[in-house]
Amino acid sequence: MGVAPIEREVIEQLLQLRRGESTAILESLPISTEILLNRLYDLAVFLTSHFDQPHIYALMRRPWRFGQQQCPSNPLLHTMLGCLQRGRPDLIERPCMLIATGGEP
């Protein structure tokens, strides 16, 4: 028996995304929707385990220092939401992985 696929609505709820925002994210990478939804679910679970759900909306839209540092000339990557909508989840995942593992940049 297989695992049930992650539903888009679950991701929208966890990351406090509007339908148009999630559509932009799902269209941002040339990979299957199923793989991207699983990747986003992992990210959402990590974020919601470290931040209260009511704060996720603001967290996704506030300035994201790592994006600013890595891509200073691209203001579209200066928020978590912007990184996801422009196909750069790595700009969120890398610092999250460092936090999770206690690693250093």
Q: Which two tokens stand for residue 21?
A: 């925002």
Cβ(41)–Cβ(47) below 8 Å: no
Residue 16, pLDDT above cutoff 80: yes
Q: What residues make up the domain containing 65?
A: 8-101
Distance of alpha carbon 30 from alpha carbon 77, whole angstroms:
18
Q: Which two tokens stand for residue 26?
A: 């799902």
Q: Tell me if 29 is assigned to some domain.
A: yes
User: How many folded domains does the chain comprise?
Assistant: 1
Q: Which two tokens stand for residue 84?
A: 């996801």
pLDDT in tens, 23-81: 999 999 999 999 999 999 999 999 999 999 889 999 999 999 999 999 999 999 999 99
In this predicted structure, what is the pLDDT of residue 2? 65
Q: Tell me if 12 is assigned to some domain.
A: yes
Q: Tell me if 1 is assigned to some domain.
A: no
In this predicted structure, what is the pLDDT of residue 68? 96
Work out the angle at residue 37's Cα, subtended by the Cα atoms of residues 34 and 105, and round it to the nearest 5 degrees. Answer: 125
Q: Tell me if 25 is assigned to some domain.
A: yes
Closest CA to 26 of 86, 80, 66, 76: 86
Work out the angle at residue 98's Cα, subtended by the Cα atoms of residues 71 and 29, and round it to the nearest 5 degrees. Answer: 50
Cβ(70)–Cβ(77) below 8 Å: yes
